[in-house]
Amino acid sequence: MNTQLTPKQNLLVWSLLITGDEPMMSKIKPRLTPAERKTLEQAGLIRLEKRSRAQHVVLEDKAWDWAVENYDVELSLSQYAVPVLQKLLVKLGQYLRSHSISLADCLTVSPAPEPTPDDKTASGTHIEERIREAYAQIPASSSGFRVRLLKLRSHLDDVSPRLIDETLSKMQRRGELSLMPMEDPQEISSEDEEAAIDVGGGDKRYFVYIKQ
């Protein structure tokens, strides 16, 4: 989504994502002008839903995809940001405790490594196209079957695993492919484990299916 939002619009979308609220139009915070609200509707982030006599602001699914690409957007520094931060801290605490993750581990993030020559080469030749080409070269994929990530990576041995992971995850968010688990744990080899993608909380994916 290329629409540039204002700090106030950013705050509203993040507020709805974090709180889960679907407020009446007359009670949204921060308040938006009709033009500001229309921009969010046209961007596919919110919609108005009539309930009884009132219009409610409801998030569209696209807002979650927007959020993944906009963790660092500028937010309006208004009083309405404080309750949102409080709600976020409560949810963050619940998540960390349930997954036995320390706050230090969560907040201490190592800087991203510098791109390697392989990364730059792969980016320049369009990694997404490289992935599709590699997928098509694997016999099982010609009939629409899922393909082991292990096999896909073997066709992309000049591309860093990190770049492959990032690109596959991005393509999945756009609905262009599906990353799938292994139904039978006994079939998971050590090579499969190494090639798997962890989508969060130890939930690993071992197969990819690219929609034709």
Asked if pLDDT for residue 40 goes beyond 90, the answer is yes
Asked if pLDDT for residue 136 goes beyond 70, the answer is yes
d(CA 181, CA 204): 6
Burial 74-89 (b: 16+ CB within 10 A, else e): ebeeeebbeebeeeee
Q: Which of 84-93, 123-132, 203-212 has the lowest mean pLDDT?
A: 123-132
Mean pLDDT within 100-121:
64
Strand 54-59 to strand 147-148: parallel, antiparallel, or no bridges (unpaired)?
A: unpaired
Asked if pLDDT for residue 140 goes beyond 90, the answer is no
CB atoms within 10 A of CB 28: 19
Which tens digits make up the pLDDT trace of 119-130?
Answer: 544 443 478 899
Asked if pLDDT for residue 117 goes beyond 90, the answer is no
The token pair that represents 24 in the structure block: 């009446």
Mean pLDDT within 30-40:
92
> Partners of 59 in the beta sheet?
46
Which tens digits make up the pLDDT trace of 41-75?
Answer: 999 999 999 988 899 999 998 999 898 888 888 99
To the nearest whole percent, how much of the chain has pLDDT over 70?
Answer: 88
Asked if pLDDT for residue 116 goes beyond 60, the answer is no
Average pLDDT, the chain: 84
Query: The tokens 């016999």 sit on which residue?
Result: 139
Is the CA virtual torsion 76, 20, 47, 199 positive or negative?
Answer: positive
Per-residue pLDDT band for 7 (boundaries 50, 70, 90) equals very high
Instruction: Give residue 124's pLDDT.
Output: 38
4 Cβ contact list (under 8 Å, min separation 6): none
Asked if pLDDT for residue 78 goes beyond 80, the answer is yes
